[in-house]
Amino acid sequence: MNNPYLLEHLRCIPDFPIKGINFRDVTTLFKEPKTLEIIEEELCQLYKDKGITKIVGLETRGYIMGGILARRLGAGFVMARKPGKLPYQTLKEEYSKEYGTDSIEIHVDAITEDDVVLIHDDLLATGGTAIAAWNLVKKFSPKKCYMNFIIEIRDEGLKGREAIGDGIEVTTLLRT
């Protein structure tokens, strides 16, 4: 898709959070009404006919468009959070990131076997978080699962899409 207006408004911060990482700052896309509208419309067009019943937003930037998209599609919204942040019983999945390890959790009653799930986050880099989210969602045995990111980083040799593999449809709005 690579909408030129969105690419124009995407900020890159070199050596953040550590030297050698070129951080794509999605906050510049969220602060302008026009960029938010473009992202919302492009996401809605991608998923309006997929029968999505739940959107899993990954902490924390995945909550922004994930929540908006859930409202637009008439779906429920599920938060995938860092450990200890959800008040009820959870399922947990650990993963590796570019600069460390982490884990995410979802409430045990968040998804059913009847759900069609869209996992949404702002950024696909190495794929560690995405794979963890997918592994977590698979524990619920939903009917179908899709995955979406606003930005996919390809220009630094990162191969997140390849790490995720072929078992799930992955879409991105921007590739850098």
User: Is residue 35 domain-resident?
Assistant: no
CATH of the domain at 74: 3.40.50.2020
Lowest mean pLDDT among 63-67, 124-128, 168-172: 124-128
pLDDT at 165: 92
- Cβ-based neighbours of 152, under 8 Å, separated by 6 or more: 123, 124, 160, 161, 172, 174, 175, 176
User: Is residue 157 domain-resident?
Assistant: yes
In this structure, what token pair is assigned to residue 125?
Answer: 């880099």
pLDDT tens-digit series, residues 128-173: 899 999 999 999 999 999 999 999 998 777 899 999 999 999 999 9
Residue 82's domain comprises 49-175
Task: Name the DSSP class of 176.
Answer: -
Catalytic residue among 59, 98, 154, 175: 98
For the residues 95-106, what does the mean pLDDT come to? 83
pTM, to two decimals: 0.94
Catalytic residue among 61, 81, 105, 161: 61
User: Is residue 40 domain-resident?
Assistant: no
Confidence bin at 62 (pLDDT 50/70/90): very high
**Whether 11 is catalytic:** no
Q: Which residues pair with 39 in a beta bridge?
A: none
User: Is residue 30 domain-resident?
Assistant: no
User: Is residue 168 domain-resident?
Assistant: yes
User: Is residue 5 domain-resident?
Assistant: no
pLDDT at 98: 61
pLDDT tens-digit series, residues 22-47: 889 999 999 999 999 999 999 999 99
Asked whether 158 and 125 are in contact (CB, 8 A), the reply is: yes
For the residues 76-95, what does the mean pLDDT come to? 96
User: Is residue 15 domain-resident?
Assistant: no
Domain count, the chain: 1
Confidence bin at 101 (pLDDT 50/70/90): confident
User: Is residue 4 domain-resident?
Assistant: no
**Whether 61 is catalytic:** yes
Mean of all residue pLDDT scores within the chain: 94
